């Protein structure tokens, strides 16, 4: 046997016994990469603001074994208060430099706003003077959970005052998202035994008064009353105003109540009785249903008079006159009742007084609508004249005013309507003159305020405040001279003219009394003239002016447009050419000046239309003079 044959035989024997494997020429000396696996989900969803805790990963390698502690993590921490998709990376490398990696996707959701749920109804009613307990609300948030303790409540409910109140509930979550809801609470008026008397019922902008515990209420009705009655109930009303006055007690908080819609051929006449105090006054007002003020036709006599003689006391005060219609029917040239032109006044007051309120009265066709003059130095003070309508005052061969005050102290003239006072176009001797005005405050008065009135079509001045004082927020239209401040020869006459709107200055007449004067004052007056609008003159007078210029006055932010020469530039105003006719049409009128005046004259506590309030009128024109946004 050859040596080669012997070698093959030995190889076969050893192979058959399994004792040796020859090397595989293809194995070589190779390294396998590590293997990495996530612990937990590959994709994770987080609520906004929810803390993220990473669950990690594991890593193994055939050669190196467990490499978990060698994993390098990127992408942490997660900013969980910022919505979006985040990637967390995991990477590991073995001892021979072989690497493996894997990623986890984390989505942070947008923040959910909290929700508020009211306990109880969104609209609640409670009776006046009862206790109100807020039922409250709950708040929850997807991310933050229960937020009841974080609820804020804005607003209050005043159960002493009937009206509508809002409670606003709001809450903010940790991501500054907010939620809000509102509850409306209506405080209803207690069923009052006086609800048939309008002045006892709350009405925005009007005075509310209740009888005192010992007030005597005297009812007067021309349609159902009888002077043989006691007058103590509507069913037992007396018939005449004179009889009703007799039943009032001087110095007591008694009330004289005139039936709405009724008419009398008499006025209030000479007044002799006072109330108890300013807080418990004697009241003359209306009662019943309907929208027509009680009509007192005083003929040739004053509608109301307080004067000397006839046993009159020197002081007559603590009185309220409200909701009455005083009419000099015998002086109305346009009525069938016209007889002659006499010199009687609507309200004529010569006695001392420390508190008087005249509100919501309609006064027409007198020589003066209201005249107050302290002839006997008895001190007339603490007078409030508000929301009255004073129209069509005139005289023949004499001076005439809508209102005339002399030697008073501390008078407030507020939110009244004056129209066509001091003249009548069709009566000889009653033509417009420079001596007749809507409001004439003579020198010698002290502390007069003229605020938020509407004054139209005066004979000459819309208002003269000769002693100086405050003229604030009035709306004056079609007056030859709108405002005169200060013309006093015996003292200081400085004052303030602020926030007034003056339109369409015209003439006393077209012959020799052309005017077109806006705001006039003594050149020596240290007036403050601020934030007034004077626009759209109608006079072609050569000496017209919008605002008197004086080195002693202070001028702040006034607007003059289309009045004097050189004021025609519309500048950057939104709509400076607005007209009163345009306003009337927008408010539902026919778009004429006559329609505008007619709507003004219908205003009362019983028929109040906010569209024709002085504030809305002024705002309409002020909006026209707002600057355009760039």
Handedness of CA 598, 604, 608, 610 (dihedral sign): positive
| Region 115-188: CATH code | 2.60.40.10
Q: Do the strands 84-93 and 72-74 form a parallel or antiparallel pair, or are they unpaired?
A: antiparallel
Cα–chain-centroid distance for residue 147?
A: 35
| Entry field: residues in the chain | 630
Q: What DSSP string describes 91-119?
A: EEE-TTS-EEEEEEEEEEPPPPPPEEEES
Q: What DSSP string describes 286-310?
A: EESSSSSPPEEE-TTS-SEEE-SST
What are the strands of the beta sheet with 57-61, ordered from one edge?
35-38, 57-61, 65-66
DSSP state of 189: P
β partners of residue 218? 256
Give the span between the Cα atoms of 113 and 124, in whole angstroms.
Answer: 27
β partners of residue 510? none
Longest CA–CA span in the chain (Å) reads 177
Supply 181's token pair: 């809801």
| 606 closest CA partner among 221, 218, 203, 320 | 203
Q: What DSSP string describes 584-608?
A: HHHTTS-SSHHHHHHHHHT--TTT-
Q: How many CB atoms lie within 10 A of CB 477?
A: 25
Give the span between the Cα atoms of 346 and 328, in whole angstroms.
Answer: 8
Along the chain (630 residues), what's the average pLDDT of each consecutive run of 10 residues?
A: 40 40 50 94 89 93 93 92 91 93 92 92 91 94 91 94 94 90 89 90 95 98 98 98 98 98 98 98 97 98 94 96 98 96 97 97 98 95 98 97 97 98 95 97 94 98 95 98 85 86 94 92 88 97 93 95 94 96 96 97 96 96 91
Give buried/exposed letters for 324-348 (b at 16+ CB in 10 A, else e). Answer: bbbbbbbbbeeeeeeeebeebbbbb
DSSP state of 314: S
Beta strands in 347-434 (DSSP E): 347-349, 356-359, 362-364, 368-373, 380-386, 389-391, 401-406, 408-414, 417-419
- Contact status, residue 292 vs residue 351, Cβ threshold 8 Å: no
| 547 closest CA partner among 586, 507, 582, 516 | 516
Q: Where in the chain is the domain with CATH 2.60.40.10?
A: 35-108, 115-188
Supply 616's token pair: 């809305």
Cα–chain-centroid distance for residue 78?
A: 51
| 199 closest CA partner among 99, 298, 323, 65 | 323
The pTM of this model reads: 0.73
Beta strands in 510-586 (DSSP E): 517-521, 528-530, 533-535, 545-547, 554-556, 559-561
Chain position carrying tokens 């009045």: 563
- Contact status, residue 360 vs residue 325, Cβ threshold 8 Å: no
Give the span between the Cα atoms of 460 and 472, in whole angstroms.
Answer: 20
| Phi/psi at 533 (5° precision) | -115, 125
Which ranges of 441-503 would DSSP assign to H, the alpha helix? none
**What is the chain's Cα-based Rg?**
44
10 Å CB burial of residue 65 (0-12, 13-18, 19+) is exposed
Give the span between the Cα atoms of 468 and 496, in whole angstroms.
Answer: 8
pLDDT at 5: 41
pLDDT tens digits for range 508-545: 987 789 999 999 988 888 899 999 999 999 999 999 99
Q: How many CB atoms lie within 10 A of CB 75?
A: 15
Decide if domain 35-108 falls under CATH 3.40.50.300: no
């Amino acid at each position: 046997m050859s040596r080669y044959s012997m070698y093959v035989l030995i190889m076969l024997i050893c192979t058959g016994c399994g004792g040796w494997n020859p090397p595989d020429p293809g194995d070589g000396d190779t390294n396998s990469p590590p293997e990495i696996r996530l612990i937990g989900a590959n994709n994770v969803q987080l609520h906004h603001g929810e803390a993220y805790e990473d669950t990690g990963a594991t890593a193994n390698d055939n050669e190196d074994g467990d490499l978990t502690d060698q994993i390098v993590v990127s992408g942490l921490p997660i900013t969980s208060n910022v919505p979006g998709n985040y990637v967390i990376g995991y990477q590991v490398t073995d001892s021979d430099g072989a690497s493996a990696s894997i990623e986890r996707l984390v989505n942070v959701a947008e923040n959910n706003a909290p929700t508020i749920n009211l306990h109880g109804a969104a609209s609640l009613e409670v009776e006046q003077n009862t206790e109100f307990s807020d039922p409250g609300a709950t708040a929850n948030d997807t991310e933050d959970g229960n937020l009841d303790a974080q609820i804020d409540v804005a607003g209050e409910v005043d159960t002493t005052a009937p009206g509508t109140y809002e409670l606003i509930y709001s809450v903010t979550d940790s991501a500054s998202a907010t939620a809000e809801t509102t509850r409306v609470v209506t405080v209803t008026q207690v069923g009052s035994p006086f609800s048939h008397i309008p002045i006892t019922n709350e009405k925005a902008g009007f005075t509310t008064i209740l009888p005192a515990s010992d007030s005597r209420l005297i009812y007067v009705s021309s349609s159902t009353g009888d002077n043989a009655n006691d007058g103590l109930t509507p069913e037992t009303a007396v018939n005449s105003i004179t009889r009703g006055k007799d039943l009032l007690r001087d110095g007591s908080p008694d009330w004289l109540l005139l039936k709405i819609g009724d008419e009398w051929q008499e006025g209030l006449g000479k007044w002799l009785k006072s109330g108890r105090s300013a807080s418990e006054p004697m009241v003359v007002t209306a009662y019943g249903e309907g929208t027509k003020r009680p009509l007192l036709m005083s003929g040739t006599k004053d509608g109301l008079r307080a004067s000397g003689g006839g046993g009159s006391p020197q002081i007559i005060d603590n009185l309220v006159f409200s909701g009455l219609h005083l009419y000099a029917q015998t002086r109305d040239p346009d009525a069938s009742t016209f007889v002659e032109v006499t010199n009687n006044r609507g309200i004529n007051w010569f006695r001392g007084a420390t508190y008087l309120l005249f509100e919501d009265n309609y006064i027409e066709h007198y020589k003066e609508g209201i005249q107050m003059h302290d002839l006997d130095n008895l001190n007339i003070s603490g007078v409030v004249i508000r929301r009255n309508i004073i129209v069509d005052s005139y005289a023949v061969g004499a001076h005439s005013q809508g209102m005339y005050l002399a030697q008073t102290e501390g008078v407030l003239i507020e939110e009244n309507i004056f129209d066509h006072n001091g003249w009548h176009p069709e009566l000889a001797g009653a033509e417009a003159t420079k001596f007749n005005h809507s409001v004439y405050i003579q020198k010698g008065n002290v502390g007069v305020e003229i605020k938020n009135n509407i004054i139209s079509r005066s004979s000459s001045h819309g208002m003269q405040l000769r002693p100086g004082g405050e003229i604030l927020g009035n709306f004056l239209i079609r007056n030859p001279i709108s405002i005169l401040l200060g013309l006093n020869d015996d003292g200081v006459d400085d004052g303030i003219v602020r926030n007034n709107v003056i339109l369409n200055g015209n003439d006393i007449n077209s012959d020799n009394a052309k005017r077109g004067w806006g705001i006039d004052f003594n050149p020596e007056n240290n007036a403050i003239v601020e934030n007034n609008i004077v626009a759209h003159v109608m006079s072609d007078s050569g000496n017209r002016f919008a605002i008197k210029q004086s080195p002693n006055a202070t001028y702040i932010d006034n607007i003059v447009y289309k009045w004097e020469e050189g004021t025609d530039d519309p500048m950057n105003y939104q709509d400076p050419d607005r007209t009163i006719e345009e306003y009337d049409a927008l408010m539902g009128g026919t778009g004429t000046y006559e329609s505008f005046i007619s709507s003004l004259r219908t205003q009362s506590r019983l028929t109040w239309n906010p569209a024709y309030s002085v504030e809305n009128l002024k705002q309409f024109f002020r909006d026209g003079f707002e600057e355009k946004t760039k």
